[in-house]
Amino acid sequence: MSDDTDTPPASTAETQIDQRLERARNRIRDTSADALVLFPSTNLAYLSGFHEEPMERHLFLFVTADDAVFLAPTMYDTQLAAETPISDIRTWDDGDDPTALLARLGDDLGIEYGRLLVDDRMWARFTQDLRETFPEATFDLASHLLDDLRIRKDDRELDHLRAAATVADNVSTAIRSLGADAIGLTETELAAEIERRLSAAGGSGVSFETVVGSGPNGARPHHRHTDRTIRRGDPVVLDFGTVVDGYPSDQTRTVVFDGDPPAGFEDAHAAVLAAQKAAVRTVEPGVEAQAVDHAARNVLDERGYGDHFIHRTGHGVGLEVHEPPYITDGNDLELEPGMVFSIEPGVYLDDEFGIRIEDLVVVTDEGCERLNRSPRTWEPVTDVDD
């Protein structure tokens, strides 16, 4: 009988990374690529479990059909050993020339004349170093290989996305229960309150800068927040999310905290809600992504608001809050189980108000599951335990 007492069992996260690496290696074998060259990004985190921000030092992950190797500053040696199952870590010290180690690694892996798929987010200075170090190599983007792997979420990823969505839903409901107490706050003050509550509810930071668009500011889809004071009767677009275990949430509701909404608002809100429902009903395996966009757009066209819907219907969500699949006209990608994306039609009337209703959905074997469940009405929410 073998003695395995000194070998701890692989964690669920390590097993997940090993499985992802094997899928990536299989894709490399099936294509004309020789290696993925990744930089601190969500791609690197996806294939290694190691999260880091881009920096001025050379830190790469090379993945070939047979190997996975980190090239990193010595200061990361212990951290990489603890946070990733990848054991081949080649380090360089401050004062060394990291490109010399890069050249030796290329020789060891046999890729100096190969086709290298470089991280889409890699800084230009590092892609230039790669080109100078491997002048005979050809270069393309890592997304050509990795997008297809990342676009379908596994059960563990879906659990994280559900948890992040629940936090955002709970905070959205609580914020909309403020009612008249929100009147007189600035957009920035309300955004700060949203972010405080996200953290208190178990979120880790925000998925993106919180959107609080009151009155005419709501007519700008990517407005963030300003010192404009929220007034009675103002429609307020609330678009925010948080991160749980590396995965973000993203949801939008539009609320009138107190007073009567402006003329035309209730009709426009009903149109947006109907458009969102129609788009959600369209989601199922085999349907093209653009069909979901068309479903939402057709409703708004029929109700006279088509010219005021000025962005795509949705975007994928995973380790990044914007990633494939994109739910837009012209995207003939067929939906598959495990794909997660937003459905967020909107109507924007310049100098008046904006309306957006957004949920995340995951494609299932028979249709889709909404990850967001908070009320989609424009009235303040009542009877909420805060």
Question: Which CATH class name applies to 155-370?
Answer: alpha beta
Residue 358: beta bridge partners? 252
Task: Write down the pLDDT at residue 56.
Answer: 95
Give me 32's structure tokens: 């004309």
Angle between helices 289-302 and 265-282 (to 10 degrees): 150
Q: What average pLDDT score do residues 303-309 get?
A: 98
Q: What average pLDDT score do residues 101-117 get?
A: 97
Phi-psi region of 351 (alpha: psi -120 to 50; beta: other; left: phi over 0): left
The amino acid sitting at 232 is R
- Residue identified by tokens 């709501």 is 218
Please name the residues in contact with 70: beta carbons below 8 A apart, sequence gap of 6 or more: 48, 59, 60, 61, 62, 76, 80, 84, 86, 88, 89, 90
pLDDT at 7 over 50: no
Torsion angle of C-alpha atoms 68, 74, 79, 85, degrees rounded to 10: 20
Cα-based distances in Å from 97 to 37, 88, 123, 127, 313: 19, 20, 18, 16, 48
pLDDT at 126 over 80: yes
pLDDT at 40 over 80: yes
Task: Write down the pLDDT at residue 14.
Answer: 85
Q: What ranges make up the beta strands (E) of 161-313?
A: 211-214, 235-240, 243-244, 247-248, 251-256
Beta strand pairing call for 340-343 and 359-363: antiparallel
Give me 375's structure tokens: 């009320």
Give me 97's structure tokens: 């020339």
Give me 385's structure tokens: 């335990």
Task: Write down the pLDDT at residue 383.
Answer: 62
Q: What average pLDDT score do residues 131-157 get?
A: 97
pLDDT at 123 over 60: yes
pLDDT at 196 over 90: yes
Ranges of each domain in the chain = 12-150, 155-370
Beta strand pairing call for 115-118 and 138-141: parallel
| pLDDT (tens digit per residue) in 156-169 | 999 999 999 999 99
Residue 207: how many other CB atoms lie within 10 Å: 24
pLDDT at 250 over 60: yes
Contact call for residues 192 and 171 (beta carbons, < 8 A): no
Task: Write down the pLDDT at residue 12.
Answer: 80
N-term to C-term CA, the chain: 57
Residue 2: pLDDT band by 50, 70, 90 thresholds? very low
58-90 burial, b at 16+ Cβ within 10 Å, e below that, comes to bbbbbbbbebbbbbbbeebeeebeebbbbeebb
Residue 13: pLDDT band by 50, 70, 90 thresholds? confident
Task: Write down the pLDDT at residue 385.
Answer: 53
Q: Which of 8-12, 61-65, 129-133, 175-179 has the lowest mean pLDDT?
A: 8-12
pLDDT at 1 over 50: no
Q: What is the mean pLDDT of the chain?
A: 95
Cα-based distances in Å from 77 to 13, 74, 377: 20, 5, 52
Q: Residue 146: helix, strand or coil by DSSP? A: helix
Homologous superfamily of 12-150: Creatinase/prolidase N-terminal domain (3.40.350.10)
Task: Write down the pLDDT at residue 164.
Answer: 98
pTM of the predicted model, to two decimals?
Answer: 0.93
Please name the residues in contact with 214: beta carbons below 8 A apart, sequence gap of 6 or more: 187, 228, 229, 230, 231, 234, 235, 236, 237
